Chains A and B, each alone.
Chain A
Amino acid sequence: MDVKEVLDIAMLSGEILLTNGSETYRVEETIERICSAYDIESECFVVPTGIFLSGCSKNDTKDSISLVKRIKERTINLHKIEMINSFSRSLKDRRISYDEAMKFLKGLDSAPSFPYYKSLLAAGVTSFAYAMLFGSSAINGIVAAFISILIYYAEDKITVINLLPFFSEFIWSFITGILAVFINKYILPINIDSVIIGSIIVLFPGIAITNGIRDALYGDILSSQVRLAEALYTVTAIGAGVGISLLLMKYWM
């Protein structure tokens, strides 16, 4: 297999890892592992917004190739990270052909995930659990679950808002706050605090924070700063959204 093909496989694996919420060091390690499995010397530099990768074969350094990949969107799918992790480890024992590897990597997009209704239900139960965990009755939990399912569904269907990175969190938390205030005023009296906390928790950037810390630990200070800043902006956006809805409640009711 020539250098270009190996780098293609490594780059695609790295891209899948990075877009699905992996730590920076894991991306670098995986790319290096894949390259060394095919006897390619490689050097890569990964930041949360892009991958820089160059490599050449061990005996002939003239056929050096460099690739750059810009990462635009980042979601969370830990299953894909696990798959790529075991894929890159298996290459050491058994090299597979370019077509086979590409088929596997492309096939990951249709990898089994949970059915949509289960995700919806999970979002609901999460909010239910947290609204109750933070000390209130079951009725508040049910209201929180209802709001959370609504938000989760809307977030999936109304993709226009999601194009704007931090604005989307602002909008969704604002709508959550407004819904809670509205239900409290017109439908049934609830504990607004615990309902809002319960419904918001799904939007919280937990992965960004833990990855930010882990990146710093592995010496990727740049990535760490990027991720922590991302988390900070997200939290600020959520806070602003909830804050404005509560402000409205104060002057409107």
Chain B
Amino acid sequence: MKGIILAFLGSFCPALLFNIEKNKLIWAGICGATGWTVYNSIYSYSGNKIYAAFIASVVISLISEIMAKLLKTPATVFNVPSLFPIVPGVSAYYTILYIIENDLTAAAYKGIETLGIAGAIAFGIILVSTIFRYINTRKRRKAI
């Protein structure tokens, strides 16, 4: 529960820093909290960070694309702040720390984990936005 509130704050405040309209801030926060909850539950269930990040990224992108349709704004508005909690900041930090401690094996391990999470997040966004883009172009063709 503590984590959910923190994840909410952690998406709400970056959204404020990016200067998003007031009434949309709360949605960005909810989106981020949902994403983090998904990430955390899958991670504790499977123990695989990369897998968890992928599913969470898919969920976040889905919610933000749907929200973008409903509120008629670019999806980026919700997407970017709500991905903040699952960004592999910790892994990246430990990669640097291990490099400094000259423990290159651990650094390589953490580095690959970082790249894996980043790639999983990216692929999650790609998957969902491709589907939505396909729907959009279908609609446009029908309109013409």
| Contacts from A to B (Cβ < 8 Å) | 21-23, 26, 76-82, 85-86, 113-114, 118-119, 122-123, 125-126, 128-130, 132-134, 193, 196-197, 200-202, 204, 206-207, 209-211, 213-214, 217-218, 235, 239, 242-243, 246-247, 250
Please tell me the size bucket of the interface on B. 35 or more
| Given known A129-B7, A133-B85, A210-B79, contact A193–B93 (CB-CB < 8 A) | yes
* Bound form: Cα–Cα A133–B87 in Å: 12
Whether B20 pairs with A78 at a CB distance below 8 angstroms is yes
Q: Which residues of B, 1-44, contact A by the 8 Å Cβ criterion?
A: 2-3, 6-7, 9-10, 13-14, 16-21, 36
Q: Which residues of B contact A (CB under 8 A)?
A: 2-3, 6-7, 9-10, 13-14, 16-21, 36, 72-74, 76-77, 79-81, 83-85, 87, 89-90, 92-97, 99-101, 118, 122, 125-126, 129-130, 133
Contact A133 B3 (CB under 8 A): yes
Within the complex, the shortest CB–CB distance from A225 to chain B, in Å, comes to 14
Q: How far is the CA of A8 from the CA of B74 in the complex (A)?
A: 24
Measured CA separation A22–B18 after assembly (Å): 12
Contacts of B14 in A (CB 8 A): 122, 126, 202, 206
A86→B9 CA distance, assembly (Å) = 28
Q: How far is the CA of A209 from the CA of B2 in the complex (A)?
A: 28
A120 to B140 Cα, complex, angstroms: 43
Q: Which residues from A are CB-within-8-Å of B76?
A: 21-23, 78, 81, 207, 210-211, 214
CB distance from A236 to the nearest CB of B (A): 10
Contacting pair A235 B16 (CB below 8 A): no
Interface of chain A, main secondary structure: helix
Residues of chain B lying within 8 A (CB to CB) of residue A76: 17-19
Judging by beta carbons under 8 Å apart, are A114 and B19 in contact?
Answer: yes
